[in-house]
C-alpha cells in the first residue's frame, strides 16, 4: 500500500512538473560580444527570470580584443568570468563561443552552431541584433541568426540535433541606425521595475563599462569607489533606456496611455519576418509581463 501511494505521489509530481514546463517560456538572446546580450535585453531577461522562465545569453565571440591594455586569452578569461557573474545576478545561463573578437564571419560552421543552440534550448523566442550596425561582429551575428531562422525546423539540416517542431519568434533588439531602414519598435517592454537589475548585470562587466567603453569615448569621469561607479553607470545608461516618440506610441499600444506615460526605462524589439509571424495573442503569451488585453 505504501509503495502504491509513493508511486502515485511520484506520478503526480512528474505531472505537475511537466505542466509547469509547458508553461515556461524559453528565451534565447544572441550577442556578438560578452556584454551585448545584457545591453540589449538585460531588463526583459530579469523580468522573465523573476517569473520562473528560462533565459540563456549566447555571445558568438569571446571578446578577446575589447580592451586598451589587455588582450588574447587573458582578456577572454576575464570576460568569461564577468558573464558568469551576470548569470548569477540575473538568474540566466550564459555561454561564450570561442570565436575571436573582430573576426566573426557568417560561415556555415557558425550558422550550424547557432542552429544547434536554438534547437537545444528549444527556444520560443530568439533575440538578436539587426544585420546593419557599425561593428562587423554585430552585423554578422544578425546575419547568422537570420540564416538560422528557417533552418531550425528543417530536419535534414544538422540532423544530429532534432529539429524544432515549431519556428520560434525571432526579434531584433533596439538600435539607432537609420540605413538602410530605421529600427521599428513592434514591441516595447517597461523595464523600469528591474532597471536596477539591468545595471547589476552591466556592472559585472567591469572590463567594459568602467574601462574599455569610457576609454573609447575619452571619458575620464569614471569614479574609483564601487558605490560611486554604480551611480555613474546609472546616469550613463538612463538616457539610452528611455523611450523615444515612436517607442512611446508602441508602449501605449501594449500598456495603454496611462501606464505608458509612467514608463522611464524600456527595451524595444522589432519582429523579424523570417521566423514565426506572431499574432497579438502570441506576443502577449510570449511576453507575460504585458498587461492582459481589455476585451
The DSSP line for 159-181 is: TTSPPPSSPPEEEEEP----SSS
Kind and range of the H or E element at 56? strand 54-59
* Average pLDDT value for the chain: 92
User: By three-state DSSP, how is residue 251 classified?
Assistant: helix
Which carries the bigger pLDDT value, residue 3 or residue 112? 112
Q: What percent of the chain has pLDDT over 70?
A: 92
* pLDDT of 295: 62
Domain covering 26-189+267-286: architecture: 3-Layer(aba) Sandwich (3.40)
Helix, strand, coil tally for the chain in percent (to 5): 50, 10, 40
Q: To the nearest 10°, the Cα dihedral for 61, 67, 73, 74?
A: -140
Average of per-residue pLDDT across 275-287: 96
Average of per-residue pLDDT across 214-239: 94
Query: What residue spans define the domains of the chain?
Result: 26-189+267-286
**Beta carbons of 35 and 71 less than 8 angstroms apart:** no
**Beta carbons of 176 and 134 less than 8 angstroms apart:** no
Q: Please tell me what DSSP assigns to residue 29.
A: E
- Distance in angstroms (rounded) separating the CA atoms of residues 208 and 219: 13
Q: Please tell me what DSSP assigns to residue 270.
A: E
Q: In this model, does residue 136 exceed pLDDT 70?
A: yes
Average of per-residue pLDDT across 129-134: 96
Average of per-residue pLDDT across 264-271: 98
If you search the block for the grid coordinates 500598456, which residue do you land on? 255
* pLDDT of 10: 33
Average of per-residue pLDDT across 74-88: 98
- Confidence class for position 17, pLDDT limits 50, 70, 90: very low
Q: What is the Cα gyration radius of the chain?
A: 20
Amino acid at each position: 500500500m505504501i509503495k502504491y501511494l509513493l508511486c502515485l505521489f511520484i506520478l503526480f509530481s512528474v505531472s505537475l512538473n511537466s505542466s509547469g514546463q509547458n508553461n515556461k517560456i524559453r528565451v534565447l538572446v544572441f550577442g556578438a560580444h560578452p556584454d551585448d546580450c545584457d545591453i540589449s535585453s538585460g531588463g526583459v531577461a530579469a523580468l522573465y527570470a523573476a517569473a520562473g522562465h528560462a533565459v540563456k545569453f549566447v555571445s558568438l565571440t569571446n571578446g578577446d580584443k575589447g580592451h586598451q591594455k589587455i588582450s588574447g586569452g587573458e582578456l577572454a578569461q576575464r570576460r568569461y568570468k564577468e558573464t558568469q557573474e551576470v548569470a548569477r545576478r540575473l538568474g540566466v545561463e550564459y555561454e561564450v563561443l570561442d570565436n575571436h573578437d573582430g573576426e566573426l564571419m557568417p560561415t556555415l560552421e557558425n550558422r550550424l552552431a547557432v542552429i544547434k543552440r536554438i534547437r537545444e534550448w528549444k527556444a520560443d523566442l530568439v533575440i538578436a541584433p539587426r544585420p546593419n550596425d557599425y561593428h562587423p561582429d554585430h552585423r554578422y551575428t544578425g546575419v547568422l541568426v537570420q540564416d538560422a531562422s528557417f533552418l531550425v525546423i528543417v530536419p535534414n539540416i544538422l540532423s544530429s540535433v532534432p529539429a524544432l517542431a515549431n519556428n520560434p519568434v525571432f526579434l531584433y533588439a533596439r538600435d539607432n541606425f537609420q540605413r538602410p531602414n530605421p529600427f521599428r519598435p513592434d514591441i516595447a517592454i517597461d523595464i523600469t521595475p528591474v532597471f536596477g537589475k539591468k545595471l547589476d548585470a552591466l556592472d559585472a562587466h567591469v572590463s567594459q563599462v568602467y574601462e574599455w567603453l569610457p576609454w573609447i569615448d575619452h571619458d575620464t569621469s569614471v569614479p574609483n569607489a564601487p558605490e560611486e561607479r554604480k551611480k555613474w553607470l546609472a546616469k550613463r545608461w538612463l538616457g539610452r533606456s528611455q523611450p523615444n516618440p515612436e517607442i512611446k506610441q508602441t508602449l501605449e499600444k501594449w500598456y495603454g496611455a496611462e501606464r505608458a506615460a509612467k514608463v522611464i526605462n524600456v527595451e524595444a524589439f522589432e519582429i523579424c519576418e523570417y521566423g514565426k509571424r506572431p499574432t497579438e495573442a502570441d506576443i502577449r503569451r510570449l511576453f507575460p509581463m504585458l498587461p492582459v488585453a481589455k476585451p
